[in-house]
Amino acid sequence: MNINIEVAKTGFKVGRQPETQTKAPLAAAIKEAGKFKEPVVITVTDTILDGIDIGGPAGYQNKSNCAFWDRPIENLTIKGGRSLFKPAISNLRFWNGLNGVKSITIKDLEIVNGLHEFAPIRTSMGEVHGHITIENCSFKGIGGGWLGRGMKWGIRGHGPARWTIVNCKFEPAQEHSIYIDNPQGNLLIDRCTGSKNGRTFMQITNRPTSGLSQFGDITVKDCTCSEIKKDGGGGSDYTFVGCLGTLSVTNCSSINTNNGAFVAWTDTTNGTYPISSSEDFSFNKIIIKNFNATSRIAERPMLAISGSKYTELSGLSIDGGQCNIRFGGDYGGPRKNGTIEFK
């Protein structure tokens, strides 16, 4: 049985109880949810643009916009409550200094990047976080910063966490719609779209500079991006920097990129974790199926792979770039590939 909490601009109410009027009502509702042992669903009914610190940081106990429990936050859902349009909330910043987060779901919301903020959702660097699920959300930047796009990233996983990202739409960002370091457990990105970023659509890394090594599989499916630019930096639309499990990309597309469409990258600057102490590969297994990429303005290889122990490719439709496909070479990095199979 779920506990239901409703949040409006003026406050929150639990079930049929009267409204508690408060400052920073969403943060207050999250703190109230910590009183219950049952799963809690918080429904947002108004636009609430107060950025929130969740699970910390240490020393923020008395700040109205800091939401934490006396234990790690878990089994908590924050969702939009209107059918005609998504209520908007502002930045969600995850920390681990006040017990952190074990599991949380955010769904059916527009998440807006406030002025002077980096990303609508981000996890703190140097801390390990729990399972963050984001479903049916849209990401929006405001203002003229970040090369005129209003946000540097859509989702920024600075600190390692487990992520599930489903059916999300991203407005343009200076660099990446999704940028996740060293995911902890299986990562799923499903039915997401982005366009006109300045660097890549998504970048998932496994680098020693970001903390604990990634583990689990990375699954990306039914995603599409278009018109990714290069004014925000390097990379390809789908950029991956190491995976110790299976990296699977299925039914995805890249249209009219200025960079390249896909790269499995061995980072020569920051390094990547090898798959084992005795095997000098960055990727254990890569499977790419039904990948569509076309661009007449791409300046890099459309699909580039290096450092993969085993690669399986099927259903590719690729056209453009310096070349359609490159294995190894200077774009992707110096680690060799193992077995490559076309099916």
DSSP string, 118-129: S-SEEE-TT---
Ranges of each domain in the chain: 175-343
pLDDT surpassing 90 at residue 146? yes
Per-residue CA distances from 101 to 98, 105, 127, 221 (Å)? 9, 11, 11, 27
**Percentage of residues in the chain having pLDDT higher than 70:** 99
**3-state SS of the chain: helix, strand, coil percent to 5?**
5, 40, 55
Q: What is the pLDDT of residues 290-340, one digit of tens each?
A: 999 999 999 999 999 999 999 999 999 999 998 999 998 878 788 899 999
- Which whole number is the average pLDDT over 180-196? 98
Residue 269 has a pLDDT of: 76
Alpha carbons 48 and 34: distance in angstroms, whole number? 21
**Percentage of residues in the chain having pLDDT higher than 90:** 90
Residue 83 has a pLDDT of: 67
What's the CATH code, domain 175-343?
2.160.20
